[in-house]
Amino acid sequence: MRLGFFGFGAIGRLAARVALDRGHEIAGVVDIDPRILGLDAGEVLGLDEKLGIAVSPNVEALKDSDVVVHATGSFLDKVYDQIASIVNLGVDVVSTCETLAYPWYRYPVLARRLDEIARRNSVAVIGTGINPGFLLDTLIVTLTAPFNVVKSIKAVRSLDAATRREPFRKKIGVGEDPRTVAYKLEKGEITGHVGYAESVLLIADAAGIQLTKVREAQEPVIAEEDVESRGIKVPRGYNKGIQGYGAGYLGEREIIRVEFQAYIGAGDYEEITIEGRDYTVKWKSTGTPGDTGTVSVVLNVAETLGSYGPGLLTMIDMLPFRPLIKH
């Protein structure tokens, strides 16, 4: 495939390296960072050879792509114009924008508009990644396959923030005063995790149920003692990360709950518990690397996206089955 890249930061570059390793070709690269504009993509990636593709600020540089990997922001209202400009080139888009995983929740008008222009240009658009996109939604739906009736779902993802990039630790306020972190989360100055509600709604959508309400929240995790992991230190009383949840209800009963915690020294695992009418199953992993997992999901989707038809899609559209969830 000929892949384009809109956004050539850490995730875009990692996706490009993995794409080359998988035998794909880079058709174009778009970014606004003045430090890399005009440079050969191979040089930016640290390769021994140039690729003959210069980093450009112009979306037209992506016109010969089969699929564009878009990786610039978390909120659809901030990146809508970027995605629409790619769609208007007639090129499929796989985006890491978290709120695009289920955009009808926060951005119903933009979602409808994006679906319209995608269909008009006969291209597919999807938002995905490791979370939301797979671990706390698509994987959960997959694990419901051997259940006749599902009564409730609970899933937890935990990761040691010390293993992640510095930008990730900044967006969860590691090392700051917890009151400052809470203020920044409230004002949107830092994002923490984005996608609690999107994961809940992807699961509900797969089951074909209309939730009565959806709740989500997150908060700082205060170090009760000095903590250190992989050389990252947080003094007692300061923020070591975040924890949060998303929950979906039928009536007053919580039927879907996803939790996420990322702080210095946390355990690395995912745990999914599905309670059925006949039996309960618990699945647990030893943890999934976030960045590599994200680009792997994105590229796996990019390689098959063209077979799903035009429009704004979700990961649920790619699954061959649906769970039956009842009170």
pTM for the whole structure:
0.96
Does pLDDT of 66 surpass 90? yes
Question: Which domains, ranges and CATH numbers included, belong to the chain?
Answer: 2-129+295-318 (3.40.50.720), 138-287 (3.30.360)
The four Cα atoms 135, 316, 190, 165 give a dihedral, to 10 degrees, of 40
Provide, rounded to the nearest whole percent, the portion of the chain with pLDDT above 70. Answer: 100
Q: What is d(CA 2, CA 258) in angstroms, rounded to the nearest whole number?
A: 36
Question: Residues 83-92: what's their mean pLDDT?
Answer: 98
- Structure confidence at residue 224 as a pLDDT band (50, 70, 90): very high
Q: What is the per-residue pLDDT for 234?
A: 97
Average pLDDT, the chain: 97
Provide, rounded to the nearest whole percent, the portion of the chain with pLDDT above 90. Answer: 99
Q: What is the per-residue pLDDT for 276?
A: 97
236-250 burial: b if 16+ Cβ within 10 Å, else e: eebbbbbbbbbbbbb
Does pLDDT of 327 surpass 90? no
